[in-house]
Amino acid sequence: MLLSPPLAVLLLGLQSALCLGLGGQNLWLLKDKVLRSQEQRAQRYLLESWKAFPARSKGGWTEPREGFFPQPLDHFNRRNNATYKQRFWVNTELWEREQGPVFLYIGGEGALTPYSVLAGEHVDLARKYRALLVSLEHRYYGASINPDGLTDQKIQFLSSQQALADLATFHAFISQQYNLTRSNTWICFGGSYPGSLSAWFRLKFPHLVYAAVASSAPVRAQLDFTAYNKVVSQSLSNPIVGGSLKCRAAVAHVFSRLDQILKGGNTSGLEADFGSCRKLNGSDDYGEFVSNLADIIMGTVQYNQETPDNSIANLCQVMTNHSLGSAYQRLVLLNKNYMASMELKCVDNSHQNVLEKLRSTEVKPYGVGERQWYYQTCAEFGYYQTCEDEGCPLSRWMTLQSQVGVCAQIFGIHPGSVQQAVYFTNEYYGADHPESSRIIFVNGNIDPWHALSVLKNQSSSEVAVVINGTAHCANMNPPEDRDPPSLRQARQKIDDQIGIWLASAHQYPW
């Protein structure tokens, strides 16, 4: 079926190249906004690409094929015959069938869409190298889940190990469907948690995938992720992205004041000034309150310049502008601007409401999966972004105990078990020393998640690319005129490396 570009654009949705982390509810809302912004960038890019190929203007674009195929619910227990239907997309438009490679885009913590095979760095590379584009939605996210999948009994089958086994089965399925041979070299791509999966697929299934690109991949699990807010602190101070020491100091000062007010227990002024939907009821609500405010700072750093109004430079212009009043009043203004951009009448700071949302087993085949991702942090990764050390510029109410405690309340996973799960994950995959080959680890040094990735070459074929001044998964977006030289150079280095690897695959069949 052929689509005109405008209709193809309408079919685009949200991609999942975002590491969810945890944080408060504001960070989840910001993630959705960033995803919508990425969708709009993809729309513009597709229209521009369409205009650049006038030969296609009469017929339009070929709609990527959406499909579902049965996957075992449990790959590691053959007595369990249960299955679920996993969603995928295929784009054959750029493919040279005889020897063209296969570029696999790996889905993550949210619904996958046709965007995954229509636009992005991997699609630009596929155009150059004449690749078959395929993408696979992660089990238990989007539409790739059974109606009872989020129950306490069934959510146990959600894991990175099961997801990698899904990729192996998908490899066989696509190979059969399109009569692929060893001449069709597979390379996988992923960003954030899918970036880790991309590296791990190459690590655990080297006979199936020849090389991998792992962007912003937090391959080292960590229970207490204190480094996240250390990078936030450094980024707020970095003049390259519009930060300054004065900005960092103003942020630290105002959160210290908030902590003092909360310690005193008189929160009526905070509730009014920061638009709380209801009265703050005890320490659990206090934690949600400061987490939601911290999300504005953390999210701005993690997604710097992903949306027109979301940048470290804009944040610091407000926080260092004394004409706007005290640092407290400047944070009030930042919060008001955030609420306006999200069209929020008030901010929900109820911890009980958060727990109720995480307990919900209703399956929603769109957006991000909050219950699913929190379960994965409890059962595998940790990644809890805390602020209990002196170097953190945010609130000391953001504690490890409060975040790990949710694992026990929602999933019955004891804090000690979370620590053991993190230890096992690092032992199973090798953390930030995976001892693999033909993997490119790409990170921006503004992104807080780069602290858990591979930042130095591990070998001649485990290559680290660190991009100065860019944030989370920046290299995966379609190129724009405003991209800094460091980002352009990184994309070229990735392109060159893939070209070398594809040439070696054809010269020395693997």
Q: Which residues are catalytic?
A: 192, 447, 472
Measured CA to CA, the distance from residue 152 to residue 359 in angstroms comes to 9
Measured CA to CA, the distance from residue 348 to residue 345 in angstroms comes to 10
Phi, psi of 207 (to 5 degrees): -80, -10
- Measured CA distances, 385 to 231, 288, 296, 443, 448 (Å): 11, 13, 14, 19, 10
- When computed from its CA atoms, the radius of gyration of the chain, rounded to whole angstroms, is 23
- Measured CA distances, 451 to 202, 241, 379, 383 (Å): 21, 18, 21, 11
Q: Which long-range contacts (CB under 8 A, 24 or more apart) does 150-155 make?
A: 150/360, 150/361, 150/362, 150/363, 150/371, 150/372, 151/361, 152/411, 152/412, 154/73, 155/371, 155/372, 155/375, 155/411
Going by the DSSP 8-state scheme, the letter that residue 382 receives in this structure is E
Measured CA to CA, the distance from residue 170 to residue 166 in angstroms comes to 6
Beta-bridge partner residues of 154: none
Residues 6+ apart with CB under 8 A from 262: 270, 286, 289, 290, 397
Residues 6+ apart with CB under 8 A from 510: 182, 185, 207, 210
